[in-house]
Structure 1
Amino acid sequence: MANYIKDIRAKVGHMPLIMVGVGAAYIKDKKVLLQERADTGGWGLPGGYMEYGETIEETLKREFKEDAGLEIVSYKFLKNFDQEFFTYPNGDQTQVLTPFYLVTQVKDGPADYDQAETTAIDFFDFDQLPDIHFESHRRILNYVKTLV
């Protein structure tokens, strides 16, 4: 059911929805991997919304592959973020429950991300981050920084 969110929005319009979004941080040499988003041009953490029928772990692996172009080998759960409220430019309102993970190993090979979702990926020092598009990603990055 690849258009689950669009199907729901067609029925409920812009009313607030509780959604599940899964996110991840991959840290290498004390730098965090970020994606430059194709939709906003801003930078953020890889992740996205769960599709109907998926498990959280399936969503994690699919979204990380789409956004960062890397296949997850191992990971560990860090924390649930549940106070993330967002109003999209079109008026859609959401409260997002985000199980957040630390990716501990990826499969070797070049990054092959979905260019419809990501225009670039790069590693950044936590003290020299680019412009992070979403406030929720800034809060999560501040949390992850305490773990490094």
Structure 2
Amino acid sequence: MANYIKEVRTLVGHKPMILNASAGVIANDHHEVLLNLRTDTHNWSLPGGYLEYGETFATAMIREYKEDAGLDVALVKSLGIFDQGFTEYPNGDVTQVISQLYLVKPVGGHTLEQATDETLDLKYWSLDDLPPLLNQQTADMLAAVKAYFNQLKVES
């Protein structure tokens, strides 16, 4: 059921909703992460988005990564669930988002070279020098990614 959230919004208006989302993180060899500049809020986030009715976290993340970044990805590892994501969008929609974060690797496609209806730009960012982010949940997810990479360094 495509556009499930849009259909629900026609019924509830801008009232706060709890929604499920999925995001993925790709890191380059320098542990910089790929972020997308969003068209709706004009700040940066991990490629990902809301689940459509019937989707799993994994299938939604794969679909959203293709839409947001142009890349086909494969799951590498789950990095956790984040349930303290509150966002008020410019159109007045309010959400509490429960997000599943995955480490992913590119397996096809190519990075978007022009703006779309969801993404203005894509760029790799150092985890120590991040741009303005969508919300606290995005910051929390990137902190978890940084902790994961730091743990890998300790173990090697």
TM over 0.5: yes
Moved more, 10-19 or 40-49: 10-19
Alignment-mate amino acid for residue 51 of structure 2: M
Larger helix fraction of residues: 2
Structure 1 gaps of 5+ residues are none
Deviation, 1:109, is 5.0
What does the per-residue CA deviation read over 1:23-44, in whole Å, with 9 as the maximum and x for residues that have no partner? 1111111111111112222111
Give the root-mean-square deviation of aligned CA atoms: 1.8
Q: Does the C-alpha gap of structure 1 residues 109 and 52 become closer, same or farther in structure 2, counting only changes over 3 Å?
A: closer
1:1-148 equivalence runs, <5 A: 1-29=1-29, 30-103=31-104, 105-108=105-108, 110-112=110-112, 115-148=116-149
State the shift of 1:56 in Å. Answer: 1.6
Unpaired segments ≥5 residues, structure 2: 150-156
Alpha-carbon separation, structure 2, partners of 1:98 and 1:86:
13
Structure 2 counterpart of 1:38, which letter? T
Kindly state the Cα deviation for residue 107 of structure 1 after the two structures are TM-superposed. Answer: 1.6
What is the CA-CA distance between 1:115 and the residue it aligns to?
1.2
2:10 maps to a residue whose letter is: A
Q: Is the 8 A contact 2:75 2:102 kept in 1?
A: no
Q: Deviations over 1:56-75 (max 9, x none)?
A: 21101000111111111332
Residue 108 of structure 1 deviates from its aligned partner by: 4.6
Could you list the per-position Cα deviations for residues 100-120 of structure 1 after superposition, in whole angstroms to 9, with x for gaps in the alignment? Answer: 1111x2125531377111121
**Residue type of the alignment partner of 1:10:** T
Give me the whole-angstrom Cα distance separating, in 2, the residues matched to 1:87 and 1:130. 19
Could you tell me how far 1:88 is from its partner in structure 2?
A: 2.5
- Conservation of the 8 A alpha-carbon contact between 1:46 and 1:64: yes
Give TM-score scaled by structure 1 length: 0.89
CA contact (8 A) 1:74 1:106 kept: no
Relative to structure 1, the CA distance from residue 12 to residue 120 in structure 2 (aligned partners, 3 Å threshold; closer, same or farther) is: same
The count of aligned residue pairs is 147
